[in-house]
Amino acid sequence: MTVREVIIGLAVAAVLGAVAVYLMLRWYRQRTGFTAGGAAAGRIVASDTGVEPAALLRDPGLGLCGRPDYVIQFEAAGRVLFVPVELKPGRRSRRVFESDALQLAAYLIALRGTVKDAASSFGYLRYAKTTFKVGLTRELENRVYEIVQAIRNDRGATTVHRSHAIVQRCTGCSVREHCDEALR
């Protein structure tokens, strides 16, 4: 065997191994359910990560839509309940970031618009080492409504000003090159 044939053989073996691991993990998740921070296991019914087909959640009244990383179906007291789960593997915080809580709240509102009474009033937010259960409180829901309204108001504005003082957000912004308020 030549060195080239050995390298090709190893590459093929690596790809087949990765596919096998993916299929085993998918099978395991489908059979056993997904546990979010010690919660009772549920069944993944939608995923924006490729485990299952994604589900677009919509709230027609607010005009809000989105795809959470996972939607999990639980059965409790003979009732079906759908719960969104959002993954933030790069976050290493002991507290929930407001922006993440607002994103999950938007998913909860859209989930309620999609599945009505089967929507849960909470969701899970998974950081690198911690899972948080975030409830849709009246205050959080009102904050989502305020933000949606502010976005709609700004759509007609000639100039929309930067809403933060975080250099990292500016550095990664898709419109940075056109922005006259970019942080240096």
Tell me, yes or no, whether 22 and 48 share the same domain.
no
pTM above 0.75, yes or no: no
Residue 183 forms part of a structural domain: no
Please check whether residue 112 lies inside any domain of the structure: yes
The answer to whether residues 28 and 89 belong to one domain is no
Do residue 48 and residue 2 come from a single domain? no
Q: Do 14 and 44 lie in a common domain?
A: no
Does some domain include residue 184? no
Spatial distance between the Cα atoms of 112 and 89, rounded to a whole number of angstroms? 26
Q: How many domains would you assign to the chain?
A: 2
Q: What is the 3-state secondary structure (H, E, C) of the chain?
A: CCHHHHHHHHHHHHHHHHHHHHHHHHHHHHHHCECCCCCCCEEEEEECCCCCCCCCEEECCCCEEECCCEEEEEEECCEEEEEEEEEECCCCCCCCCHHHHHHHHHHHHHHHHHHHHHECCEEEEEECCCEEEEECCHHHHHHHHHHHHHHHHHHCCCCCCCCCCCHHHHHCCCCHHHCCCCCC
Q: Would you say residue 97 lies in a domain?
A: yes
In a domain, 50, yes or no: yes
- Output the pLDDT for position 180: 85
- Is residue 28 situated within a structural domain? yes
Note the pLDDT of residue 33.
Answer: 45
Can you list the residues of the chain whose pLDDT is less than 70? Answer: 6, 13, 17-41
Provide the pLDDT for residue 105. 97
Q: Which domain holds residue 21?
A: 1-32
